[in-house]
Chain A
Amino acid sequence: MWDQILQFLLTGITLGSTYALVALGFAIIYNASDVVNLAQGEFVMLGAMSAIALSAGQGLPLPLAILLAVLLTLVVGLMLQRFAIAPAKGITVVGTIIITIGASIFLRGLALLLWGKDIQALPHFSGETPLRWGDLTLLPQSLWVMGGTALLVLGVQLFFNRTLLGKAILACSCNKTAAQLVGINVGRMLLVAYGLSALLGAMAGVLVTPITYTSYDAGIMLGLKGFAAAVLGGMGNPMGAVAGGLLLGLLESLAAGLISSGYKDAIAFIILLLVLFLRPSGLFGRAVSERV
């Protein structure tokens, strides 16, 4: 029994790592502009699908394909901000969110046209022979997912705590007028935020796709789960989003194992509803009144 639960926890952390990266992407853009970027899941799908196309389709070595796929998604994120969000200057937050919905549908359609409807997989980075400790097993790819997520989260943390650029983005989120008055180009900061979110999404995609597979519409579910994780952690709190992602992954995995795998996806949305009913600022969120 305990071995089984430990096994569920391992699976949960792997899954949760992906949600954490997607949620982190949500938090970064939300922080910089109060906008929920509903194309966040499509960044994950794009990273994964283009890596597959470049490695399996074009025959590039896997590391190179991954690098190019991440860069490509980064460019897509920058273009989304530059050509879809920025021109709609002065629009409401809800209006911007609707633009991101449009962008997500567009990106999904593009992926469908380019790569078809099939479910596709990326090769495991270092083999598929599970590691074993007694009854516990773990795919080497899970270690890639956890390690990669840990590094990325640490990197984002350092970026916001140690660099002037990171702090300038935080400044925009806490007081846009004051940020402008110290000479910060707010539009530029938004561009950086979208780029960073796209980068995190793409990394999440290439890390987890060897285990979970992907398809042109995989971004919908990942986006929704990541959003649930971000809300759970407290929207706009990057480290809360990471914690929310891990927690969501664990709960899902436990529910799938102990109750029924049929309820796996429902868990995220039940949690989302419960959080919104009981604690709308999230587990680690600032009180709403502080965001003046």
Chain B
Amino acid sequence: MPSSEPLLQVRGLQGCYGPVRVLHGVDLDIAAGELVALVGANGAGKTTLLRILSGLHRASAGQIRLDGADIGRLPPHRIVAAGICQVPEGRQVFAPLSVSDNLRLGGYAQRRDPAWLERRLRFVYDLFPILAERHAQLAGTLSGGQQQMLAIGRALLGRPRLLLLDEPSMGLAPLLVEEILRVIGELNRQGVTILLVEQNARAALSIAHRGYVLETGRVALAAPAATLLADEGVKRAYLGY
């Protein structure tokens, strides 16, 4: 599983919104094949970190390397092409377009490889049969859970080498949360490297190999997931004991 050379290497990352600094020098490593959880309270900077990784927000300092290549200055579409695909917070499916159009757009960066896309589309439909059933339906009319599945499927069609998931459990019923997490674990076992950002720390850590705890823009703790789950401080602050 975790190999020595990290797939993603983040060093000293700082992020600001105007004069307000949100990230104060974050270091993060993700090895190929890992499932890493990033937990922390609201406002800790988790979403900002993901926005910077996807190129939606420019870091004010620091380095981001994917497989050794500096990707910190690339625009979002080049980052997707390089292999970082994000499932954004709140799903953000293309509501007025059909389910199958959403998925095809997910493969926009891979549009020159239709054979691969066709195979991958079948894979996603096998993973979420409900999407195959509703492929002609408008995405905006799906339930929250189905939209989450669609958002994940859409990102998978981008051929991610690293899949970023922002709060996939948000607003879902407990049974659905379980289902989504099961799928995330399954994807990881099939070889997809995943960075999972969650406020639901227990759920995230229960399927992750390692975890980072982000507190007000700094990495407060970084440890194997089991260690974090057993840590008294983490338990008190994030697991609700």
Contacts and interface: CB of A to CB of B under 8 A. Distances in A.
Interface of A: 164, 167-168, 170-171, 174-175, 177-186
B97 A183 contact: no
Contacts of A167: 97, 101, 104-105
B88 A177 contact: yes
A167 B75 CA distance: 21
Interface string B100-131: 01001111110100000000000000000000
A178 B88 contact: yes
A174 B140 CA distance: 11
A178 B97 CA distance: 13
Given A164-B104, A168-B108, A181 B80 contact: yes
A179 B85 CA distance: 12
Q: For chain B, give the interface size range.
A: 20 to 34
B235 interface: no
B97 A180 contact: no
Going nearest first, the 3 A-B pairs with the smallest beta carbon separation are A183-B109, A183-B80, A180-B76
A236 to B, nearest CB: 11
B81 interface: yes
B109 A180 contact: no
A180 B51 CA distance: 11
B94 interface: yes
Contact of A175 (B56, B80, B92): B92
A104 B100 CA distance: 40
Contacts of A164: 104-105, 108, 111
A171 B80 contact: no
Contact of B93 (A170, A178, A183, A185): A178
B191 interface: no
Contacts of B75: 185
A174 B98 CA distance: 13
A179 B77 CA distance: 9
B50 to A, nearest CB: 10
Given A170-B94, A174-B97, A175-B94, A181 B105 contact: no
Interface in B14-64: 54-56
A171 B93 CA distance: 9
A170 B96 contact: yes
A58 B137 CA distance: 54
B159 to A, nearest CB: 10
Given A164-B105, A177-B56, A182-B158, A171 B94 contact: yes
Given A170-B97, A175-B94, A181 B54 contact: yes
Interface in B71-97: 75-77, 80-81, 85-86, 88, 92-97
A104 B223 CA distance: 60
B94 A174 contact: yes
Contacts of B108: 164, 168, 182-184
Contacts of B105: 164, 167-168, 171, 179, 182, 184
Contact of A185 (B77, B88, B97, B107): B77
